[in-house]
A and B are shown apart, each in its own frame.
Chain A
Amino acid sequence: MVWRKVELPVLPTTVIGSYPRPKWLREFIAGYREGRYKEEQMREAFDDAVIAVLNDHREAGVDIPTDGEMRRDEMVEYFAERIEGFKFYGPVRVWGNNYFRKPAVVSRLRYRGPMVVDEYLFTKKVTYSDIVKVTITGPYTIADWSFNEYYPSKEELAFEIARIINKEIKALEEAGAIYVQVDEPALTTHPEEIGWAVEAVNEAVKGVNIKVGLHVCYSDYNILKPYYDRLNVSQFALEFANRGFRDLDVLKGLNKELGFGVVDVHSRRVETPEEVAAAIRKVMEYVPPECLFINPDCGLKLLPRKIAKQKLKAMVEGTRIIRQELRKRGLERIELRKDLTCP
């Protein structure tokens, strides 16, 4: 697939990936699991939900939407269900009353075939936007959030997954995707493993010729800092609102695009556009506006849909305040880049 030129407004707004499933979809999924609906009907319901999500994103004014990950129950289990060699024992708590079905690796992992290409193709068909972002969970996070009963080490497991993810990203590229985000929320959680974890991410994106972002959240970014150059991605999408925009100093020396997290996905309080604008002004002291994307901290799926949409609106309105200021400086449009450095 050939890379194509795409123009975007300065400070493009996007989402990290997930979005709350509509209530009717949750009910439909429950019905499907009880055997009341056929697989074909379930697929149609997912498609309809993606259209609803894209409509929310469009109304909020998001420049680069995703499909809200409507088909995915959870970011690791979705992939584990589609890769041979995983087994599920039951749900594991992540915080409060929130769970995920943590998979266990019980035999050699094998790529069975495309996992999210159909998601991409459908989203591309129905979207209002010029481009869409496809999210894919990274090899280190899948390895770290799985029980390893088979491989001699987590490192070997992560590299096996990286080779599988690499096949998937190349399949997406082949299908026409130009913007993929590798989600690695676990990347910095074991500082002693970061050296090889970064190489596992690089293995996953090896030979890929489209834009690749990397999402990391809720951790100590100082651990990531020495690897800014080493990571073969064009953008880091990082959570900052949850930490009250502390730790921005870690962005000194960043030579890539930043996807800046401006709304807290774990709080139901909707930020004001002015708060968002203030946060963007603050981050522009560290990252030039032509290297900035604006996004929520993380996936929005745990919020009520109404609040998630309000947060996106606030994010877009806050971004527009800053765009007006930038227009006075003659900065209105940027080009989507896949370069590993910015500016």
Chain B
Amino acid sequence: MAVFGAALVGSYPRSEKVASIHRKFLKGAIEAEEFERLIGAETEKLIKFFVRTGLNTFTDGMLRWDDIFNPLIRFVDGVEVNGLVRFYDNNFFFRAPIIKSDPVIKEGAPITAWCRKGVDVLEGLRARDRVTLKQPLPGPATLASASIAEGVSVEELIEKWWSGVLEPLAKELIKEGCVPEFHEPEVVWDPSKKDLWARAAELIAGIGKGWYVTYFRPADPVSDVLGKLGEGFVVAVDLVSGTGLENVIGAGVKRLALGAVDGRNTKMERCRTLVSLAKNAVEKGAVEVFVTNNTLLDFLPEPVARKKVRLLGRVRKRLARESGV
């Protein structure tokens, strides 16, 4: 029998309150310890909200993060942080890594500890056994493509980012009870490099479990890349950008996250439509189906994102009711 779920991928919008905590920290009005205490408290509230809505797989909302690269790249030796670069076709900008030498994750980088704190919140809520907490990370293809590096190919960068930063970090996260969620928009953005992306997917597959998230373009042109990930991975595809699920499932992807809740438009989706999409995916051969946001929720105003998360919760409850799972 197919398994259904509702999940949040990536970030949740930084509320006014969270923004003000960041501002105080950046201005030096609060110390790092106080910043962490305040952000930790806001993250806890958010996790409690996700649990209440009925989501069974989610991130901690990435309230400590500016974008999918920062602050991770600040905890990496061999990297400097560049000026602002547009994040694909969005009115959203990130600071790109400039590669000075082989990137290596710094000892004591707090990413794993942040995720552990989220796990502790779930344990406190006695929700640990029914909820999966994910930690978003940029995937090697996306990170390599976003990097500014003279004389180093994207192919080399994929290997370097993976071995020096992403692989050790992902393994640590799994050890701490978090599931790594690799964001790979680049893979669908530029399918012409799919041989390179296939290599990156093989590297990711090596760690055995996780989420592999694509967005901004349809995934079917890179179905064979997605097929390399293996059964341990849930693959998220952006259904708002296009369909083509048959090809993805045909390539061997049986655990799917359907990005059908638009993270880039305020228009609300209908619960009934989302439920039908999930059932339809099962009819096409998927064995585990999550309904999710198609991309980071940072692109939405927080009140709308909140409504969309609640909608996801309703979708899960309805799927559970109608499928008997």
Contacts and interface: CB of A to CB of B under 8 A. Distances in A.
Q: Do A and B share a complex?
A: yes
Given A93-B13, A97-B19, A218-B85, A147 B266 contact: yes
B267 A99 contact: no
A147 B85 contact: no
Contact of B300 (A92, A99, A145): A92
A104 interface: yes
Contacts of B302: 90-91
Nearest to B302: A90
Interface string A77-104: 0000000000001111111110100101
Interface string A203-236: 0000000000000001100000000000000000
B280 to A, nearest CB: 24
A186 B91 contact: yes
A107 interface: no
B206 to A, nearest CB: 33
> Size range of the interface on B?
20 to 34
A255 interface: no
B304 interface: yes
A264 B19 contact: no
Nearest to A101: B301
B89 A189 contact: yes
Contacts of A102: 91, 301
A95 B94 contact: yes
Given A147-B266, A148-B265, A93 B83 contact: no
A192 B317 CA distance: 39
Given A99-B19, A148-B265, A264-B83, A190 B89 contact: yes
Given A95-B66, A97-B19, A267 B303 contact: no
Contacts of A147: 264-267
Contacts of A69: none
Interface string A97-119: 10100101000000000000000
A242 interface: yes
A269 B84 CA distance: 15
B66 A242 contact: no
Contact of A95 (B19, B92, B267, B301): B92
B23 A97 contact: yes
Given A149-B267, A218-B86, A96 B66 contact: yes
A81 to B, nearest CB: 16
A282 interface: no
Contacts of B304: 89-90
A94 B92 contact: yes
Given A97-B23, A97-B26, A91 B84 contact: no
Contacts of A168: none
A173 interface: no
B266 A104 contact: yes
A266 interface: yes
B114 interface: no
A93 B92 CA distance: 7
Contacts of B83: 242-243, 264, 266-267
Contacts of B13: 92-93
Interface in B25-73: 26, 66-67
Contact of A218 (B14, B66, B93): B93
Interface string A308-320: 0000000000000
Nearest to B87: A95
Contacts of B266: 89, 104, 147, 149
B84 A93 contact: no
Contacts of A264: 83
B33 to A, nearest CB: 20
B91 A144 contact: yes
Interface in A104-149: 104, 144-145, 147-149
Contacts of B14: 93, 97
A95 B90 CA distance: 11
In the A-B complex, list the 4 residue pairs whose CB atoms are closest, starting with the nearest.
A90-B301, A95-B93, A147-B266, A89-B301
23 contacts: A89-B266, A89-B301, A89-B304, A91-B302, A92-B13, A92-B299, A93-B19, A95-B66, A95-B84, A95-B93, A96-B22, A96-B66, A104-B266, A147-B265, A147-B266, A148-B267, A189-B88, A189-B90, A190-B89, A218-B84, A218-B86, A264-B83, A266-B84
Given A95-B93, A145-B91, A185-B91, 7 more contacts: A90-B304, A91-B302, A92-B298, A93-B14, A102-B301, A149-B267, A189-B90
